[in-house]
Structure 1
Amino acid sequence: MSSKKSTYIDRRDDVSPKEGEREYGDVTFADPTNKKYPVDTPEHVRAAWSYIHHKDNAARYDADEVETIKGRIRRAAKQHGVELRDE
């Protein structure tokens, strides 16, 4: 693994991106590859932040992918005026 931070998230075998798209529609996701963690509303931003802090959810990603997802959630939170707490 390189030390360069990547913004790419690998495709996960345990999820179907079509399911996320079907459930949430054409929205912005913090993990757009797998259509996980929608961040299109303040409620979704708060939920995404909570879920990515669950150890079992974060464990499905490499550490740099988790940081990428958290960064995208933070940016969406700022856009939606949502204050996030580190969990």
Structure 2
Amino acid sequence: MSTHIDRREDVNPEEGERKYGDVPFADTTNHKYPIDTPEHIRAAWSYIHHKDNAAKYDSDEVELIKDRIRRAAEKHGIDVKDA
């Protein structure tokens, strides 16, 4: 599995910081999918399982994002299942 996510041309990483603040993101390069609260973790899990969102990444990047969300969910005591 890759440990890096490429910079997306369709995203301004500063927008994620502006919207969510200095929080951990599952996509650390583009500041997408915040994983700082149970609500954000559940939303991130849901969004990355939408085909149109996942299609913006390589398959190994999607797996890295899912892995980061899973680890955050475990840390917060949230049970996530693959869709």
Common fold: TM-score over 0.5: yes
If the length of structure 2 is used for normalisation, what is the TM-score?
Answer: 0.98
Q: How big is the alpha-carbon RMSD for the aligned residues of Structure 1 and Structure 2?
A: 0.5
- SS of the residue aligned with 2:33? strand
Counterparts of 1:62 and 1:86, CA distance in 2? 18
State the 1:66 CA deviation.
0.2
Query: For this pair of structures, how many residues does the alignment match?
Result: 83
Gaps of 5+ in 2: none
Equivalent residue letter for 2:76: H
Of the two, which has the highest radius of gyration? 1
If the length of structure 1 is used for normalisation, what is the TM-score?
Answer: 0.94
Structure 1 position 59 matched with structure 2 position 83: no
Runs (4 or more) in structure 1 with deviation over 4 Å come to none
Identity %: 73
State the 1:27 CA deviation.
0.2
Structure 2 match to 1:83: 79
Structure 2 match to 1:9: 5
Gaps of 5+ in 1: none
Instruction: Give the counterpart of 1:41 among 14, 37, 40.
Output: 37
Counterparts of 1:53 and 1:7, CA distance in 2? 19
State the 1:6 CA deviation.
1.4
